[in-house]
Amino acid sequence: MPQVRAADGTTIAYDVFGRADAEPLLMIQGLGADSRGWALQRLPFGRRFRCFAVDNRGVGRSDKPDGPYDLIDMAHDALAVLDAEGVERAHVMGASMGGVISQIIAVEHPERVRSLVLSCTAARHHEWRRELLSEWRELVAAEGMQGLSEGALEWLVGPRLRKRFGVWLNMLARVLLQSPPEPFMAQIDAILAFPDSMRDQLASVSASTLVVVGSQDALTPVGDSEEIHELISGSRLTVLPGAAHGCMAEAPNAFNARVLEFLAAMSGDGKSDASDAERA
């Protein structure tokens, strides 16, 4: 797995797969997850793109420095991956916390973004979500990652997947629970510390944008995605029926089809003229 040094010396690992001659796609996962969170996107996206899936600082094979962490630094970590690969502009796809990092890149470095996919994410804090993340932090501090497993999975994984797909659910749980507790808490702190003020800058996003959310997402509900869709002019909104927060794993066929259809329209320097919300 290749690595690059971030500006502060932190080593950032990333996975590279797909066609060597294809357009670049930067993939950024969420809280506690690493590049394995894109497992069900690897083959279909690799057929069409040169994919760079980042292990955010604190997870996977990236360094796990002491906190505090900052989401802006993590956005720069992802850009350092593109720099190391000689990529000036890429399609950028982020999930959950990775969706916030992707928003930062689109707002602060629009010249680096060919198009933008924001999945199961939000543009601002809600007090209930602040309280929930703070509770997760306290549990992990007291009991380690095992203290988080049962309660958190009820927020992260929909009931359909829990009942029918236990093997994949266990895999999702392993990815999350393999995170060391201290970096996991540092990522939560970074999320909680990030200001809502960036929400006011989303209107400046010029990249063609697709917003994707599961209809059963409890952690970042459909309303969060509807707000992003309203703030980013010309964006598309796709709601995946029956999927929860991990929609790329729970409804991979629908997720892959909608995102690949969007990215195909964004190939080259073309800009889609479709702006109406879509409900898959």
Residue 157: per-residue pLDDT: 64
In this predicted structure, which of 77-81, 148-152, 209-213 has the lowest mean pLDDT? 148-152
pLDDT at 103 exceeding the cut of 50: yes
Half-sphere exposure of 229 (CA within 13 A, CB side): 21
pLDDT at 163 exceeding the cut of 70: no
What's the mean pLDDT in 170-197?
84
Residue 270: per-residue pLDDT: 38
Q: Where are the domains of the chain?
A: 3-279
Query: Would you identify the CATH topology of the domain 3-279?
Result: Rossmann fold (3.40.50)
Residue 178: per-residue pLDDT: 72
Give the total residue count for the chain.
Answer: 280
Q: Characterize the bridge pairing of strands 11-18 and 3-5.
A: antiparallel
Residue 280: per-residue pLDDT: 43
pLDDT at 146 exceeding the cut of 90: no
pLDDT at 167 exceeding the cut of 50: no
- Percent residues over pLDDT 90 in the chain: 78
Instruction: Please give the mean pLDDT across all residues of the chain.
Output: 89
What's the mean pLDDT in 194-222?
95
Contact of 69 with 190, CB cutoff 8 Å:
yes
E strands, 191-250, in order: 208-214, 236-240
Kind and range of the H or E run holding 50: strand 50-54
Q: Characterize the bridge pairing of strands 278-279 and 113-119.
A: unpaired
What CA–CA distance (Å, rounded) separates 220 from 222? 7
The per-residue pLDDT for range 221-276, each reduced to its tens digit, is 999 999 999 999 999 999 999 998 989 988 999 999 999 999 999 986 434 333 33
| Sign, Cα dihedral of 24, 65, 168, 157 | negative
